[in-house]
Amino acid sequence: MLKKHTKQEQAFIQKVRQTAGKAINQYQMIEADDKVMVAVSGGKDSLALLEILSNRRKGLPIDYELHAAHIITEDVPYQIDVDWLQSFCTELNVTLHLVTTRANLETAGKKKPCFACSRNRRKELFKLTHSLGIKTLAFGHHLDDAVETLVMNMAQHANISSIPASLNMFENKLKVIRPLTLLTNEEMKNYATLQGFQSLKRECPYEDHTIRLKARRIIDQMTSINPKARINIFNSMKKIDFEYLP
């Protein structure tokens, strides 16, 4: 897995790690002695997140406990190479928790399979963290996910909302954090390639990214107005001029 990097590549790796660190500090995501669970799908982002959080412990005056969780949904034909994930976690000195569950899609009613499956996965992650006394749960969403969700929510639900960088839930019993919030998909893709992370995810036959892909395409087009459009849309969520809104 270890690759030899040029100076330029090392600088990029460092920049990505620092940007994740900036988000962690800015949103006060992790404090000394916290127990943090990283939700790992097997995709490039959550693998990178786990590695970044593990690596970060080395250079900090504070320490925190790191765990990884992967949810296996039995009745959805999407499996990852669990042995590889286990060895990845062992190398990072992180305990991997595997949970096997069922999405029961046949009883999901009108809900789309993807929705039912991810809702069930979140429930399992909440149950697991609670049972282990872990109060911080980290997801691998990045800046592009947040911008796409904003555009989708505006177009579909007529509201301005997205994916929060940090969210207290269940009367502060759990904090959901997204340390990759300030990093773009492009940056994460390059990071994963440089680090040699193989995406373990296999295509799920139910997966439906149609709307998200459309939103992504629209945001891509907006970069012809301004190359920084994606980042500007993200930053506009933090700078709302209520006086100049209807």
204, 198, 50, 197: which is closest to 137 by C-alpha?
Answer: 50
Tokens 């046949």: give the residue: 106
C-alpha distances (whole Å) from 14 to each of 20, 95, 195, 236 are 10, 25, 12, 27
Identify which of residues 103 and 233 has a Cβ nearer to ligand ATP in the complex.
Answer: 103
Q: How far is the CB of 5 from ligand ATP (least distance, A)?
A: 22
Among 16, 23, 37, 46, binds ligand ATP (CB under 6 A): 46
Nearest to ligand ATP of 83, 241 (CB atom): 83
Please report, for residues 2, 39, 148, 166, 224, the alpha-carbon distance to residue 220 in angstroms, rounded to integers and kept in the order given.
33, 28, 10, 26, 8
Instruction: Provide the 10 A C-beta neighbour count for residue 57.
Output: 17
The reply to whether 201 sits near ligand ATP by the rule CB under 6 A is yes
Q: Are 59 and 20 in contact (CB under 8 A)?
A: no
Please answer whether residues 151 and 215 qualify as being in contact, where contact means their C-beta atoms are separated by less than 8 angstroms: yes
Q: Is residue 148 a contact residue for ligand ATP (CB under 6 A)? A: no
Residue 69 lies near ligand ATP (rule: CB under 6 A) = yes
Minimal CB distance residue for ligand ATP: 43
Binder among 39, 146, 147, 176 for ligand ATP (CB under 6 A): 39
What span, in angstroms and rounded, lies between the C-alpha atoms of 146 and 162? 6
Which of 141, 175, 216, 230 contacts ligand ATP by CB under 6 A? Answer: 141
40 has binding-site annotation: yes
- Does 66 sit near ligand ATP (CB under 6 A)? no
User: Is 128 or 233 the residue whose CB approaches ligand ATP more closely?
Assistant: 128
C-beta closer to ligand ATP: residue 15 or 202: 202
Interface residues toward ligand ATP, by CB under 6 A = 39-41, 43-46, 69-71, 121, 139-141, 201
